[in-house]
Amino acid sequence: MSESTALSRILEKPHSTNRERLGVIFRLSLPGMLAQITEIMMQYIDAAMVGSLGAKASAAIGLVASSTWFMGSFIWSSSAGFSVQVAHAIGARKYEKARSVLRQALFIALCFSLVIAVLGTLAGRSLPRWLGAEQSLWHDAGMYFMIFCMFLPVRELNSLMQSMLQCSGNMKTPSILAAMQCILDVIFNFILIYPTRTVTVFGASFTCYGAGLGVIGAQLGTSLSIAVAAVFAVISCLFRSPVLAINKEKGSFLPQIEVVSEAVRIGLPMLLEQSAVSLAQIVQTRIIAPLGTVAIAANSFAVTAESICYMPGYGTGSAATTLVGQSIGAERKDLARSFAWLTTYFGMAIMTAMAVIMYFACPLVFRFLTPVKEVQDLGVSVLRIEMFAETLYGASIVATGALRGAGDTLVPAVLNLISIWGVRITLAWLLTRTMGLHGAWIAMALELNVRGILLLIRLKRERWLKNLAVDEQPVTE
């Protein structure tokens, strides 16, 4: 039974057990988690390949990482504003409306991403200087960021298509595409990062040709792998999806005011939130940059290493958006509430388990990521601080996904902003002065716990269900 079929059966049943609901959650979450883990492995491989070039190469990427997240937030938020509407339409069995929203999303998102790409590319050259890094990092960091921005329309297309597939209940295709993207990333990086060299495998030596682009090759390889994945995502969504394929009927791509206004209502708070969060991360990078190359590199590797803990949470959060969104569309208040809490508990449990494993495994992880002993030692010590925040971080990730499925994005955005700017940045500025990089990560850990508590309170108050006045359906254990 496919994920979408299993969810449809739950939506159509007047009563369902928690066991049945957990089964659907697992079916939808597992492919999403595998997709996120595959993406993490791509980040690990990228970091290890660049890390072999030395601390300065790693620091160049780490310097602009938060800036790439800032630009990526525009892409992700614009996709979400439309995909939530698609989930609601599918839940209500309004498939023609879902396809209409998809067409409009495709037109608007691509136009929007082209503008953002131009602005980001123009700003890329001066960004490393503004961040306060030493001059030796400026060229590589600037070029890395500029190439990232040039491919933003491709990233937008890939994000939109995969988000639409997920909201239709198809989680397998995005996970397969993520695995393919990871494999291609390794191949492209292997060719583009390193120069032509002699490689010995099982005693046999041969010449391996390469472009020798270093840091620039890392971003170019990743961007090309995303471009290939985007082609297959477009085919899967627009031509092969049983629900979303638009090739069998005619329809307009021109924006309709009601669809655009709803996308703005859902997506704008998310955009402001993600932009402000990313700006806060840029400010935090600015705070860390004067600590030197070793601190920048250790911070970058620690962020990459931590992703293995929280990316499964994002996979579960995507499932929560789909489950709650389709429940809202089907006017099933009982299911929306149940799926919101069950997915949140599930995400918290997964991230707690990952944190325990990472606490003991992180020395091995850092030895894989970088050969520089100073970077390894500093990275391990700061990452272990963060492991005490993963449980509530998981709560914030999945609860936000569930609330997004209900179209509740404004208040969660405000809560996230209060948390990251009021707690993380303030404490990082104070603690880094006396504790160095450790101070920044203590501030981050405290903030993530605060954020998790705030989002759980929002979920508990259930104001996100106020517009769905439907009779309760009892839950059978």
The yes-or-no verdict on residue 450 having pLDDT over 90 is yes
Residue 312: predicted pLDDT: 82
Average pLDDT score over residue span 170-180 = 83
Read off the pLDDT band of 152 (50, 70, 90).
Answer: very high
Q: What is the pLDDT of residue 477?
A: 37
| Beta bridge partners of residue 199, listed in sequence order | 206
Q: 348 pLDDT exceeds 90?
A: yes
- Token pair belonging to 364: 């091995």
Distance of alpha carbon 42 from alpha carbon 107, whole angstroms: 30
Once rounded to an integer, what is the mean pLDDT over residues 373-395? 93
Point out the least confidently predicted range of 23-27, 79-83, 100-104: 23-27
**Which pLDDT score is estimated for 476?**
40
Instruction: Decide: pTM greater than 0.85.
Output: no
**Predicted pLDDT at 39:** 65
> 35-39, 88-92, 243-247, 460-464: which has the minimum mean pLDDT?
35-39
Query: Which helix or strand (DSSP H or E) is residue 199 part of?
Result: strand 195-201
Highest mean pLDDT among 124-133, 261-270, 278-287, 453-462: 453-462
Is the pLDDT at 140 greater than 80? The verdict is yes
From CA 198, how far away is CA 187, in angstroms rounded? Answer: 17
The Cα–Cα gap between 182 and 43 comes to 9
Contacts of 54 (CB under 8 A, 6+ apart): 372
pLDDT by residue (tens digit) across 298-337?
A: 888 888 788 888 888 888 888 888 888 888 887 888 888 8
Distance, CA of 100 to CA of 159 (rounded, Å):
18
Give CA–CA dist 263/105, Å, rounded.
Answer: 9
Percent residues over pLDDT 90 in the chain: 29
More confident residue, 395 or 413: 395
300 phi, psi to nearest 5 deg: -65, -45
Q: How confident is the model at residue 186 (pLDDT cuts 50, 70, 90)?
A: confident
Residue 455: the pLDDT is 94
What was the pLDDT predicted at 262? 86
Q: Once rounded to an integer, what is the mean pLDDT over residues 181-195?
A: 87
Residue 196 sits at φ, ψ, to 5 deg, of -60, 135
475 pLDDT tier (thresholds 50, 70, 90): very low
pLDDT in the model for residue 10:
64
E-assigned strand segments in 351-461: none
The residue extents of the domains of the chain are 3-465
* Residue 457 CA neighbour count, 13 Å, CB half: 10
Residue 88 has pLDDT above 60, yes or no: yes
pLDDT average, residue stretch 239-251? 87
The whole-angstrom separation of Cα 312 and Cα 30 is 9
381/392 Cα distance (integer angstroms): 20
For range 26-43, the mean pLDDT: 67
